[in-house]
Amino acid sequence: MFLSYLILATATFGRLSQGSLKPMSMQINFGSGSVVTIELHTNSAPLACKHIEKLIQNGFYNNQRVFRAIFSPKPFIVQMGDPFTKVSVTDPRVGTGGSGKTVPYEANKYNMTVGAVALATLPGKPNSGDSQFFIVLGDYSDLLKGTATIFGKVTSGMKVVNSLKIGDQIKSVELIPTPAIKQANITLSQ
């Protein structure tokens, strides 16, 4: 006899049943039509993720611009999230803007490797993260360890990230559900 079972990924189900945040991703839609999707680490960085999600829901990132893109002498980071960039990336205040609410540093298991997404912080002040974030372009685990909360990982669009330039516009950012439970149909025979 063949029985068909729907198997739920136990680890994911266990986390969801303990009242943790829903798995979410953020989708950055650039003015060029390019898209970058970032899976949020809602269980490992819940404070940062809640903060970023609230900013997204309020349209905070819409029409901002990339204001830092360091590719030389070797790929380092691409940074965005400063509201002063809505006016101009040459505004002398760019790099200092935010929502006005900081988030405490959340240590977690993730490393500053290609595609990691972290809250930008002031030097030596890991609890100063707000709306600005950067995407890591290389392996900087040792250099950046403990400096900023890693709250996500690029899951699609890394080629886009590697082509971003200062001044590229973020048309909009939206939250999209991340598949929380991986399902598989398995046929068993007896």
102-139 per-position pLDDT tens digit: 999 999 999 999 999 999 999 999 999 999 999 999 99
Delineate the domains of the chain, giving CATH numbers in brackets: 23-178 (2.40.100.10)
- Give the pLDDT score at 17: 34
Q: Rounded CA gap, 62 and 30, in Å?
A: 9
- Give the pLDDT score at 75: 96
Q: Does the predicted TM-score (pTM) go above 0.75?
A: yes
75-105 per-position pLDDT tens digit: 999 999 999 999 999 999 999 999 999 999 9
Looking at residue 122, the DSSP 8-state letter turns out to be: B
8 Å CB contact between 162 and 75: yes
- Give the pLDDT score at 54: 97
Q: Rounded CA gap, 136 and 147, in Å?
A: 13
